[in-house]
Structure formats: structure tokens, C-alpha cells
Amino acid sequence: AGGFAVRVLKPAVEAVSDRNRDRNLGPGVPVVFTSAMDHPVGQLFAAYEAARFGGPQLEAGLLTHRLFEADAFTEMLGSTGPVLRLPGGTGLGFDHLLESLPWLPLVRRGNRGMPGKVLQNPRDPLGGRPLALKEGEIGFPTSGSTGRPSVVVHTDDSLEASAHAVNEWLEAGSQDVWLRVLPLFHVGGRQIHTRAELAGSRVVAREDKWDASAFAECCRTEGVTLASLVPAQVFDLVSAGLRAPGTARAVVVGGGALEPSLWRKARDLGWPVLPSYGASEAASQVATARISEAAASEVMPPLELLPGCRARVADPDETGAGLLELSGPALASARLVFDGADWKRIPLIEAVGGWWRTSDRAVVRGRELRFAGRADRVVKVLGELVNWTSV
């Protein structure tokens, strides 16, 4: 559902470049097709391309990030003749091979010019009639505050606007390695791949059940520099006393409020935790703490709006807290809501002149944003607004 990368090495059908000549790649060398994911569609696609170009598929189409062994791969290719040379020994990862050889990407993660699609949770599929998305749109299911099924509708433009802003804020580049443990049908998981594609970063994806020890070990073995978690996962890391590897630069925490005490305990274990505020409608992060402030501060640093994002509050109280409104290029275009019989398309920002009114209360001062709770959890008691979750 989230897309997969199929890459093709075509030394047999293209002119020999200096790069290929150094690796003994030339005319007559078998064409190798491989899927980067252990996915039947990816394997089928690799087999189809192999047949179309008339080259042997070998078993490369079955290799995955987790199962890849460089020695076995080179031995497999070497059985058909000298194809490429790699340093001796083990430990060369599949991603390093992707970076060092002339792979041709056949499938991009974007959806421009393609039929609209919804990234559904296979364990909780959407009911009702089929959704009618427009060309190029990507839908993310969300229950929202009402609990009714709904789909937030994005495009490549809004997703990439958010990804550029996060990359700029985190100073992400080709040297970085993202670890994704969030599902691809969630905008937070999907956007890790968008950021990596735009910045040239590498992504290590774990699709198995969440395990704090496995996460920490993967961070160490893969040299992970960036990750995204929810507060409950940070709690698991802290409870297990797991220390962060020296490569970690930032762990963005969203999907719920991060308690200052939990932030402090995670930092004591070396985890560079960055509290954030985001929304599916804004393609993930809206405001995030600075890496430099999180590293130097003894208290949890404030959230700052990401580049391109504007915020204001409506009907503020005496503390400055009011209903949060957002504007910027990363906002979704619409929301599809199921009314029990059909899906209704509701423009996200048209009704309020370019601003999207959230269901959250916040205080905005300059570029700083402080979350003040859900608006639907505030009631008026004897003329005073009271947040019932704090009572």
C-alpha cells in the first residue's frame, strides 16, 4: 500500500561506463533484477522485467534488507561469470549495494498522474462504498475526534512540502539513516520515506511487532541517526533502561503529549528526544523542538513552528490559549467523512479563508507553540472554561 522500490541493474543493455568498467560490468553480463522488499508483487515485477529484457532473474528478486548477505549475493552472481567485485568479508548491507551500483529505479513513491489511492490499515479496512479520490491524491484513514471513519486527502505537493520542512529543521541529508517503526498507512510512517527520498537518506524499516530492545539493537547495528516514535514507545525504552547509540541525532516524538519527566529520563539514557506537535491534516509535524536546544537544555525545550507553517489561535482566554488554526503548503486538501451511507468530501480550509481550524487548544507566541489540550475536552463550569482531563 505504501509503495515499494524495484530497482534494475542493466549493464547488459546499456553502454559500458567507466563506472561499470571498473567493476568488470560489460556487454553479455547477465541483467539482475531485484526487489528491495520481500513482497510478492515486487518479486513478480522483477521476474516480469527479467523476462522482458531476456536476462536471468537469478534469485536476486527474493533478497530483502533483513536477509541480504553480501557474500552469498556475489557468489550467486559469480556463478554466471565475473560480474562485480566487492570488498572481502561480510557485513556489506543491501543499501550499500543500492548506492554503489548503477541501479535504475522503476517505481517512485510519488502518486502524480496516477489514480487516487488510500493507504488502508489491512487489519482495519474502511467500510462503506468505495472512495472516489481524484488523480494524484493519497488518502490516510483517521478516526479523528468524532470516532467516525474519515480519510485525510493529500497530494505529492503537500507531502513533499512537509518533508522539505522537516528535512530543513533536522538538517537531514544523505549521511542520515532513518529507522521506521510506524506503519506505512499512517502519515508519520509514510512521510519518513518521502523525507528520505528528497534528502537522499537511507531508511531501515521494521514491520514486525514493536519491541524496545529490538529497536535499540537495530539503531546500533544500522547506524541509525533519525527516528520517529510515540510517547508509549519512549516509555518502553526508558522502562527497559536501554541506552541510545552514539549515532542517534534525533528521535522525534509525536502522536501524543510527552511528559517532561519522561523526556528527562530518555535524555539521561542518551536518547536525543525531540517533542513535537503534528496532525495527519498537516502531513505529520507542525512544530518540533530544536536539536541544539534539546541537547543543551535541562528542561524540555519548547516547540517551534517548522518552516512554511503559520499558526494562530481563535477566541483566546486570559492565558492566551485558544483554538489552534494552521496554514501552509503542507495542509491536506480535503477530508472524506463516512456518514453511514456514503463518503462526503469536505474541503479542509475553504471555509475559513486558507486556515484550517483544529480541535486543539494552544498558545502561540511568535514561532513557539504550546499545546494546551483538546478543545472537545473543555467544558464551561459556572462561567469558567475547565479542562476535564486535568480535574
Q: Tens digit of pLDDT for each residue in 30-41?
A: 444 444 444 444
pLDDT at 92 over 70: no
Angle (CA) 112 167 3, round 5°:
35
pLDDT greater at residue 222 or residue 99? 222
Per-residue pLDDT, 388:
54
pLDDT class of 377 with cuts at 50, 70, 90: low
pLDDT at 80 over 70: no
Cell of 16: 559500458
Q: What is the pTM of this model?
A: 0.71
Lowest mean pLDDT among 100-104, 270-274, 296-300: 100-104
CA separation (Å) from 186 to 23, 120, 152, 373? Answer: 41, 9, 11, 22
CA pair distance 168, 370, nearest whole angstrom: 21
- With a pLDDT cut of 90, the percent of the chain lying above it is 47
CA pair distance 51, 30, nearest whole angstrom: 12
pLDDT in tens, 230-287: 999 999 999 999 999 999 999 999 988 999 999 999 999 999 999 999 999 999 999 9
Strand partners, 334: 153, 347
Domain boundaries, the chain: 7-100, 117-387
Per-residue pLDDT, 129:
61
pLDDT greater at residue 351 or residue 349? 349
pLDDT class of 390 with cuts at 50, 70, 90: low
pLDDT greater at residue 359 or residue 116? 359
CA pair distance 206, 224, nearest whole angstrom: 12
Per-residue pLDDT, 373:
87
pLDDT class of 116 with cuts at 50, 70, 90: confident
Q: Rank 7-16, 116-125, 164-173 by mean pLDDT and report only the highest.
A: 164-173
Which residues contact residue 243 at a Cβ distance below 8 angstroms, ignoring those fewer than 6 apart?
216, 269, 270
- When pLDDT is averaged across residues 331-350 and rounded to a whole number, the result is 87
Helix-, strand-, coil-residue percentages of the chain, each rounded to 5? 30, 25, 45
Lowest mean pLDDT among 15-24, 131-140, 145-154: 15-24
Alpha helices in the chain (DSSP H): 18-22, 40-53, 70-78, 94-100, 156-170, 187-199, 212-222, 231-239, 260-268, 291-296
Lowest mean pLDDT among 49-63, 102-116, 187-201: 49-63
CA pair distance 347, 7, nearest whole angstrom: 38
Per-residue pLDDT, 109:
53
Residue from 90, 105, 102, 1 nearest 49 by CA: 105
For 117-387, CATH gives 3.40.50.12780
Which residues contact residue 73 at a Cβ distance below 8 angstroms, ignoring those fewer than 6 apart?
60, 63, 97
Lowest mean pLDDT among 136-145, 333-342, 352-361: 136-145
3-class state of residue 44 by DSSP: helix
On whether the CB atoms of residues 358 and 331 are closer than 8 A, the answer is no
Which contiguous run of DSSP H or E holds residue 316?
Answer: none
